[in-house]
Amino acid sequence: MTDDETLLTVAQMAEATGVTAHTLRYYERAGLIRPVARNAGNQRRYSAVDVDWAAFLLRLRQTGMPIAQMREYADLRQLGDATIDDRLRLLEAHQIAVREQIAALRAHEKALDDKVRVYRRTLTTREGKKP
């Protein structure tokens, strides 16, 4: 991808990833996104690889990975295949944390279901209806 027609502007990248241009620039400054290619006018131009990488970063963030860990992962990625073991360990640890969050959310959901059921039963009884 070398001409501007196949590359995305910041606005197009923001639309493609669902984040703001400000977030994209922050991710670049934070070292999460490698320096982005620029056109003759010095405007950022993102490739399909950049879109995929940003989407993965967003998935990590949405699953609760701290920025510091995301930066560690990004740094390892930049070093190439020699870091696959380290990246795998980092992702496996995060996967465990995500699974723990899911289990906690399921327990909270069950508690809410129980409370909703109690309130519905109370309202039904109060209205003189059988539960």
pLDDT, mean of residues 34-55? 92
CB atoms within 10 A of CB 27: 22
Phi and psi for 8 in degrees, rounded to 5?
-100, 140
Percentage of residues in the chain with pLDDT exceeding 90?
82
- The confidence band for 128, taking pLDDT boundaries of 50, 70 and 90, is confident
How many CA atoms are closer than 13 Å to the CA of 126, on its beta-carbon side?
Answer: 6
Does position 1 have pLDDT exceeding 80, yes or no?
no
- The confidence band for 27, taking pLDDT boundaries of 50, 70 and 90, is very high
Name the average pLDDT for the chain: 92
Q: Delineate the domains of the chain, giving CATH numbers in brackets.
A: 8-128 (1.10.1660.10)
Q: What is the 3 state secondary structure string of the chain?
A: CCCHHHCECHHHHHHHHCCCHHHHHHHHHCCCCCCCCECCCCCECECHHHHHHHHHHHHHHHCCCCHHHHHHHHHHHHCCHHHHHHHHHHHHHHHHHHHHHHHHHHHHHHHHHHHHHHHHHHHHHHCCCCC
Q: Are 8 and 46 in contact (CB under 8 A)?
A: yes
pLDDT, mean of residues 45-57? 94
Q: Whole-model pTM?
A: 0.79
- The confidence band for 5, taking pLDDT boundaries of 50, 70 and 90, is low
CB atoms within 10 A of CB 84: 12
